[in-house]
Chains A and B, each alone.
Chain A
Amino acid sequence: MIVKSSAAARARLRDRAVRVPALLLATALLSSRVAAADAPGVRHYVLDPARSSLEFTFLQAGAQNKGRFKSLQVSFDFAPDNLAASHLDVVVEINSLDSGDEERDDTLRSADLLAASKFPQAHFAAAQIARSAAGYEAIGKLTLRGVTRDARIPFTFRTATENGAPVGYMSGKTSLRRLDYGVGQGDWRATDQVPNEVGVSFALRLSAH
């Protein structure tokens, strides 16, 4: 009993320890975003959810399968000639995943895979945008299932004016190793039926604010 309660207390402390810097970070990000939006040439974009998609592909028992996340938030501060003031921030609601099969969706949300009830969001925060041969690269940290790792996500970005309003189209494709983020505990750690490599692709329509 004593052991258990002290473990719980430790967990609470740990939670608080995580939460406080997270709050500071969020504040910092928010203020940097305001600063960025104020920087010359920087435009602030948000997601047009109806015309955007974020998909993932994975092999299941040798066959290619596909799913998507229906709910995400994107904040993109961007100026092609002021990349230093450009940032990308994406939050994905894990529970919004849809692999086209309810039973499989429940399995994907379960504790041994994405653990959606404990880690309801994935977060990609890129404070740095770099030019690459194919377009751009967002360099930052990806947090998935409570694990944060460095990540570089390549993308292309083009702008257009639609109905008199500026919009941006961001798309790209990358892959990640699910086990790097602990997506696959217990029996799911095996990679013979569901390999480690998971493809991620996105085609987002962003509107400028």
Chain B
Amino acid sequence: MSLRNTNHRWGLLSQLFHWLIVALIILQVTLASLADDLPPGARKLTLLARHKSVGITILMLVILRLSWRSLNLTPLLPATLKPYERFLARFTHAALYVLLFAMPLSGWTMSSARGFPVSWFGFFTLPDLVPKNKSLYAALLTTHEALAWVLAAVVTLHVAAALKHHFMLRDDVLRRMLPFTTTGRGPKA
């Protein structure tokens, strides 16, 4: 299978970005909910530090992913889609990209507003995006949590659509994002 996308299939690099980010989002939710249940202390600090580092990693991956997307063909939506489905698909994908920026950026800004600089796994410290501000911190905490729920809703829609395409419409839409599978069209893997 090729590294680059074709009109009918996501290339290996696009697939790698997609599934890596899926895995990291699952990790993020896990770290955040584990930290949420803990009182302030060393364990909470460790979990939140990891959460921030992973969040910055996702931000970096999304920048790379969008750059790669812009240098590539984007596989076509199935011709069978109705106009509203076409709109819904485009809207969902755009929303996912926006959220992949909004989540880490709101988290990073929230840390800056709290006065806790963000370090990337201890290798380097990111600059503060805003000066320390208690009420801004509170607002951003609410925003970050609300965006997480929005992300959960959009991901649910995205997954439901992928499963519908695979099991009900029986087309290539899910398979073309999966490695080690063949699709009905284009060069075989």
Pairwise interchain contact A186-B125, C-beta atoms closer than 8 A = no
Closest chain B residue, CB of each to CB of A63: B117
Interface residues of A, dominant DSSP: mixed
Interface residues on A, range: 20 to 34
Q: How many A-B residue pairs have CB under 8 A?
A: 52
| Chain B neighbourhood of A187, CB < 8 A | 41-43
The reply to whether the CB of A188 lies closer than 8 angstroms to some CB of chain B is yes
Pairwise interchain contact B42-A62, C-beta atoms closer than 8 A = no
Pairwise interchain contact B49-A61, C-beta atoms closer than 8 A = yes
- Of A65, A104, A112, A193, which one neighbours B49 at CB under 8 angstroms? A193
Interface residues on B, range: 20 to 34
Contact code string B55-83 (vs A, CB < 8 Å = 1, else 0): 00000000000000000000000000000
| Chain A neighbourhood of B49, CB < 8 A | 61-62, 193
The reply to whether the CB of A60 lies closer than 8 angstroms to some CB of chain B is yes
The reply to whether the CB of B174 lies closer than 8 angstroms to some CB of chain A is no
Pairwise interchain contact A190-B42, C-beta atoms closer than 8 A = yes
Pairwise interchain contact A101-B116, C-beta atoms closer than 8 A = yes
Within 8 A of B (CB), among A47-69: 60-65
A192 vs B52: C-alpha distance in the bound complex, in angstroms?
16
Within 8 A of A (CB), among B167-181: none
- Of A63, A103, A106, which one neighbours B119 at CB under 8 angstroms? A63
Pairwise interchain contact A61-B45, C-beta atoms closer than 8 A = yes
The reply to whether the CB of B186 lies closer than 8 angstroms to some CB of chain A is no
Within 8 A of B (CB), among A179-205: 186-188, 190, 192-194
The reply to whether the CB of B84 lies closer than 8 angstroms to some CB of chain A is no
| Chain A neighbourhood of B122, CB < 8 A | 61-62
Contact code string A105-138 (vs B, CB < 8 Å = 1, else 0): 0110000100000000000000000000000000
Q: A101-B115, A101-B116 are in contact. Are A60 and B132 (CB under 8 A)?
A: no
Closest chain A residue, CB of each to CB of B137: A101
The reply to whether the CB of B46 lies closer than 8 angstroms to some CB of chain A is yes
Pairwise interchain contact A103-B121, C-beta atoms closer than 8 A = no
Pairwise interchain contact B40-A103, C-beta atoms closer than 8 A = yes
Pairwise interchain contact B115-A61, C-beta atoms closer than 8 A = no
| Chain A neighbourhood of B52, CB < 8 A | 61
A65 vs B114: C-alpha distance in the bound complex, in angstroms?
12
| Chain B neighbourhood of A65, CB < 8 A | 116-117
The reply to whether the CB of A166 lies closer than 8 angstroms to some CB of chain B is no
The reply to whether the CB of A100 lies closer than 8 angstroms to some CB of chain B is yes
Q: Separation in Å of the B135 CB from the closest CB of chain A? A: 14
Q: What would be 14 A-B contacts, judged by CB atoms less than 8 Å apart?
A: A61-B45, A62-B122, A62-B125, A63-B116, A63-B117, A63-B119, A65-B116, A101-B115, A101-B116, A103-B40, A112-B41, A187-B41, A187-B42, A188-B41
